[in-house]
Amino acid sequence: MSPSLDELSFSRRYHPVMDDPEQQLHIPSRLMSRAGIRGWLIPLGLILVLFSNVVALFLPFLDIEVVLKGSSEYKLPESVKLMWETGLYWVAILIVCFSIIFPLAKTIFLLITWFLKLRPDRRKGFIRLLETLGKWSMLDVFVVILLMVLSNEQLFLSTTPRIGLTFFIFAIIGNMIMSRIVATVDDRIHPEPDAMSNDKKQFMPMDSTGGLGWTLPLLLVVSLLSIVVATGLPFLKINDILLHSNSYSIMEATMALWDNERIVLGVFLFLFVVAMPVVRILLIGNMWFSKKTRAAHYKQMDLVRISGEWSMMSVFLLALVMILTEGRQLVNTKITSGLYAIMISTAVCVVSLWIARWLLNSRTKQY
């Protein structure tokens, strides 16, 4: 006996895997209704992140004490006002956009995305955009870390982290984790067609992209070497008559935080500025020389993209630029060669990922 139309409708509604994945990406759906009772945990997590973010805006991040000038509190809103009044308009705009507006907007948009009925393909693109931009909310955290490093072992300048920094880091990291959870749930309910490909033929991207295939490994080696150089080479030097003329590399900055019992911040700096970029490069290299199916390559490329969301050398670079402009009023510094190594590493890593995607998409679809 053949199934009735009602039975087919019920089967398609509650067993979407029976349908073509590509067709499913164009049928509007609501994540909340598909996630079941556990789906309420995600909105609760997002509300907790939103609460932490709002609280962080009203609490001081850092106490800065300068001999003969007294002490002052570093808060997000007040720092933006100060930079605007001193003519640092672009710096003020960057902090407002990435450290104030975007984290709040991201959490709200994730909540809306979780409850709103949307086409899965559009929702995927929107969630990925939020994930990609998420790390830039760490901009102000790196500014605070650099200010703490510059005040290390100085008689006339000292800094003390405050509770607002803890709330802000919790909010941003929590925001990034929650967006990844939302994306994972979405991928399980509405998988990409490439990830569900039944093609069992295996291929190696290196062998499938012709002479251009060697371009990527060369770029990855350059990027890896530049990270090593950037880690050990000083990126700036204090150039102030009242202060010790210390110079700092990423490794020296990490050790300075560690020695001052700012262990969490030291681990934070090294993990996101050095370790994660290296992991990303190794993942790209592994994908390029691995012989796998199309679906396996797609999943590995997605893992590369996810690791890139936690690779923050580019954010650290922008924070350095801000210190070299905004920070001159507190500590006069000058650029040293390590900064150029950081710039080269950031640029080469971005280009490497773009080339990997382009070659994989344009040359391996036939396999």
- The residues of the chain that CATH labels 1.20.140 are 28-190
- The answer to pTM > 0.85 is no
| Tokens coding 306 | 């996810």
Place of tokens 């030291």: 266
The backbone torsions φ and ψ at residue 15, rounded to the nearest 5 degrees and listed phi first, read -135, 70
Q: Out of 20-24, 93-97, 98-102, which region has the weakest mean confidence (pLDDT)? A: 20-24
Does residue 211 carry a pLDDT above 60?
A: yes
Whether the CB-CB separation of 120 and 25 falls below 8 Å is answered with yes
Give the H/E segment covering residue 182.
helix 163-189
CATH topology of domain 28-190: Butyryl-CoA Dehydrogenase, subunit A; domain 3 (1.20.140)
Indicate the helix (H) or strand (E) that contains 235: none
Kindly report the three-state secondary structure assignment for every residue of 87-117: CCHHHHHHHHHHHHHHHHHHHHHHHHHHHCC
What does residue 341 show for φ and ψ, rounded to 5 degrees?
-65, -40
Q: Range with the lowest mean pLDDT among 11-15, 67-71, 332-336?
A: 11-15
At 194, the amino acid letter reads: D
Q: How crowded is the C-beta side of 290, counted as CA atoms within 13 Å?
A: 17
Q: Which tens digit of pLDDT belongs to each residue from 261-287?
A: 788 889 999 999 999 999 999 998 888
- pLDDT at site 348: 84
